[in-house]
Amino acid sequence: MNETAAPQDENLEEQILKESIVSAAGLSSDQIQIGIKGDPSLRESAPLRQRYASPVDTVFDELEPNLEELLLNRGVYQLFVGFNSGEIRTNSVFDPLRVEIHEAAKLADPAYVDRQFPKIAYEDKIALMRELYTTLRASKQYNSMPKYWQNILNRRSENWKPLEPENIPHILSTVRALRDVQEYYLRNITISIVQGIVRMQFNCDGTQIIDAHNFRNFLEENLP
């Protein structure tokens, strides 16, 4: 990259970081929580819509420890729980480009978890994530990207901290309380070890993206 192009690249780099909701560099230190408003008609009609128990609700007591097991002791680095659909989506370090979809009722069975998800220690999973990123950054394709994009991704790599394992049980243990909130209850939740974020959608169709490291503070401020 020549010197005359550097200022333009720097401007593009900063613009990309500023205009994304959750950028390639993740949430910044002053973005503990980001709210996205959904369809206004859904927010206004939320108190009028009758609530029904979902397939996930009926098995959640059995499901919760298995979800914790997936994030702590298996290859899963990202987990989506859809209460309305009854689907659980998982992303694994053993097949990182693929999303797997499982039925909540099946995942409530520990034997199913044993069959479907190979074990790996949490620290080994984090080490494998770092190794995957190192391999990616050494590739010809990665290095053919514009330099400002490489800078963005390299900054994330240098500052990356995975979600602390002790936060995972606390996040999952609060799902029931969020599900039980009157009118504006939880519809789905995504937990990402890599980005250290929790993404939640509620019955009012709003989305909250929370820094998982500060999830406890979010709950203290927002749960009755």
> What's the pLDDT tens digit per position in 94-146?
999 999 999 999 999 999 999 999 999 999 999 999 999 899 999 999 999 99
Overall number of domains in the chain:
1
75 falls within a domain: yes
Print the domain residue range for 125: 32-222
Ranges of residues in the chain whose predicted pLDDT is under 70: 1-7, 16-52, 204-205, 222-224
Task: Give residue for tokens 């993740």.
Answer: 26
Closest CA to 162 of 82, 39, 52, 72: 72
191 falls within a domain: yes
Quick one: tokens of 4? 């005359």
User: What pLDDT was estimated at residue 169?
Assistant: 92
Quick one: tokens of 205? 């169709």
97 falls within a domain: yes
20 falls within a domain: no
16 falls within a domain: no
User: What pLDDT was estimated at residue 10?
Assistant: 73
| Residue 223 zone, left/alpha/beta (φ > 0; ψ -120 to 50; rest) | beta
User: What pLDDT was estimated at residue 100?
Assistant: 96
22 falls within a domain: no
49 falls within a domain: yes
How many H helices and E strands in the chain?
Answer: 11, 7
User: What pLDDT was estimated at residue 91?
Assistant: 97
What gap in Å lies between CA 160 and CA 25, rounded to an integer?
A: 9
Q: What amino acid is encoded at 187 in this protein?
A: R
141 falls within a domain: yes
The DSSP code for 180 is: T
- The whole-model pTM stands at 0.80
